[in-house]
Structure 1
Amino acid sequence: MSDDILLEVIATTPEDARIAAAAGANRIELIASQQEGGLTPPLDLIQQITAESPIPVNVMIRPHSRSFYYTPEELGQMVHDIRQIAAHTQASALVLGVLNASGQIDEPALQQLLAAADGLPVTFHRAFDEIADQEQALYTLSRYPSITRILTSGGQASVLDAKDTIIRLNRIAQQQQIGLIAGAGLTLESLDEFVRGTGVQEVHLGSAVRQDSNIHLPLDAKRIRQAKAALLVR
């Protein structure tokens, strides 16, 4: 195994962000409302955390958790938020995803959001997991240079139930030069075997690195260090 497996963890507060960096996480996904799967955090929080953090901070752009289909008004709010973040924070990247009523990538909406991002890198988030043909969706996303990563559980509630899919998607992603982040359902106990078995180079942890594995509790430095140790095992 390579020793450069990247660990991304979810943060919702400045304290989370400090713990993540100090414990050895490589990147933060900054969100609000973790119980809803992550929504756009307030601008002042983004400003504070991105100014303080010694590691990259990727910021969620998601106005609600009802679906990944957005009205023109909601898209307008997303464009506004993106422009504010791009202009007034030190965010490293944005995390977003948009689907149409048929459950496919909404390319016109996506192009609108990418234009607002003005070159800021983008991770297409787990809206990807609601798409029936993920391989075709990966090819579609790879046509956009600013989309540098896809966060996915392979279409399952837990990525541990999608190992074969992740292997296949990761192979295509490498060919298309887009990063694949595996997330959802990973535990400290499963991490080493999962990474060895799938070949992924980036993993995303949420509750697994929180106190008592509880999304409502703060990040746990010890658990983050355990995750890093598992990713460095050869």
Structure 2
Amino acid sequence: MLRTLEVIATSVEDAIAAAAGGADRIEIIAEPAVGGLTPPLALVEDIMDAVSLDIQVMIRPHARSFVYTEQELSYMAGQISAIRSLGRPGIVVGCLTDAGAVDERGLAFLLSYAADMDVTFHRALDEAADLRAAYAAIARFPAVRRVLTSGGAAVAPDGADAIAALVRMSEGGRPGVRGGEVREPGAGHAGAAGEAGAAGEAQPAAWRWPVVMAGSGLHAGLLQAFLQKTGARELHFGTGVRGPAAVDPAKVAEVRRLLDEAE
């Protein structure tokens, strides 16, 4: 089974080290201590010049919560437009309601600015009141290709059972779940653009589950057992591949080797 390795980069040096170690994709963020915020556009441009890897850029204006006001959503839309103008990177984004559900209206609004960009729904998912229902809600938006999750736990190893359940859900072709009701993703849903469906929303014929990417607290020493337990095929690494000051290419290479050797 081919597996994808994504590595967090906060600098050009991080990106070069991730590429040297065999990463497939990098996520560019600022302020890793708070879980990542939108990085400066100049940093994204410098990293684009330095490496040929796939690039994802965090779109998150603050670390207070994943519940955003209309003004904040508009600001995020501007950030998405700026990243989109660069032509190459994708985005990492997510938003919730006060009740802990996916903010489908807000997400539809943001995706209308993303157009055909590669989109990841980030770990806002892990703060949802119902992980499975939130994942099903995200599946109604075909623009979202993957979700990043620690299984609702602080770190992915502690959320391995929940991650495994989402992976089975993603591969089983089952319909979505919302409020306890089983329904096909896209059925009976209207987003921010009205009853006809917002840009980025799923129509029933276009439905598919987003890939489940596991991340947070992963490192080489526990990777084999984690893969066996979860079946995850996309893995997201941060501190697990860093040295004292930057990404360590040798640590990335070790994770790459373990992913390539795993069944």
TM-score range, shorter chain: over 0.9
Matches for 1:139-158 after TM superposition, within 5 Å: 139-158=136-155
Q: What residue number does 1:78 align with?
A: 76
Amino acid at match of 1:220: D
- Residue by residue over 1:101-145, the C-alpha shift from the partner in whole angstroms, topping out at 9 and shown as x without a partner, is 111111111111000112212100000001121111111111111
* Match status 1:185 vs 2:217: yes
Note if contact 1:46-1:89 (Cα within 8 Å) is conserved in structure 2.
no
Note if contact 1:138-1:173 (Cα within 8 Å) is conserved in structure 2.
no
Amino acid at match of 1:22: A
Q: Residues of 2 paired with 1:81 and 1:69: CA distance? A: 17
Amino acid at match of 1:209: V
Matches for 1:183-222 after TM superposition, within 5 Å: 183-212=215-244, 217-222=245-250
- Cα offset, 1:50, TM superposition: 2.1
* Match status 1:23 vs 2:21: yes
Note if contact 1:99-1:105 (Cα within 8 Å) is conserved in structure 2.
yes
Quickly say closer, same or farther: Cα 1:84–1:20, change in 2 above 3 A: same
Q: What residue number does 1:225 align with?
A: 253
* Match status 1:113 vs 2:145: no
Note if contact 1:11-1:17 (Cα within 8 Å) is conserved in structure 2.
yes
- Cα offset, 1:177, TM superposition: 3.3
Q: 1:69 aligns with which of 67, 70, 75?
A: 67
Amino acid at match of 1:204: H
Question: Unpaired runs of 5+ in structure 2?
Answer: 174-207
Q: Residues of 1 paired with 2:155 and 2:82: CA distance? A: 33
Higher normalized helix content (fraction of residues): 1
Q: What residue number does 1:38 align with?
A: 36
Name the Cα RMSD after superposition: 1.2
Amino acid at match of 1:192: Q
Note if contact 1:151-1:180 (Cα within 8 Å) is conserved in structure 2.
yes
- Cα offset, 1:90, TM superposition: 2.1
**2:220 counterpart SS class:** coil
Q: Residues of 1 paired with 2:66 and 2:47: CA distance? A: 26
Question: Unpaired runs of 5+ in structure 1?
Answer: none
- TM-score, structure 1 length as denominator? 0.93
- Cα offset, 1:7, TM superposition: 0.8
Q: What residue number does 1:51 align with?
A: 49
Q: What residue number does 1:103 align with?
A: 100
Amino acid at match of 2:230: T
- Cα offset, 1:184, TM superposition: 0.8
- Cα offset, 1:89, TM superposition: 4.6
Q: Residues of 2 paired with 1:226 and 1:199: CA distance? A: 19
Question: Which has the higher Rg, Structure 1 or Structure 2?
Answer: 2
Amino acid at match of 2:105: P
Following TM superposition, the consecutive aligned residue runs of length 4 or more in structure 1 with deviations greater than 4 angstroms are none
- Cα offset, 1:186, TM superposition: 1.0
Q: Residues of 2 paired with 1:98 and 1:80: CA distance? A: 16
> How many corresponding residue pairs?
227
Q: Residues of 2 paired with 1:18 and 1:43: CA distance? A: 18
Amino acid at match of 1:193: A
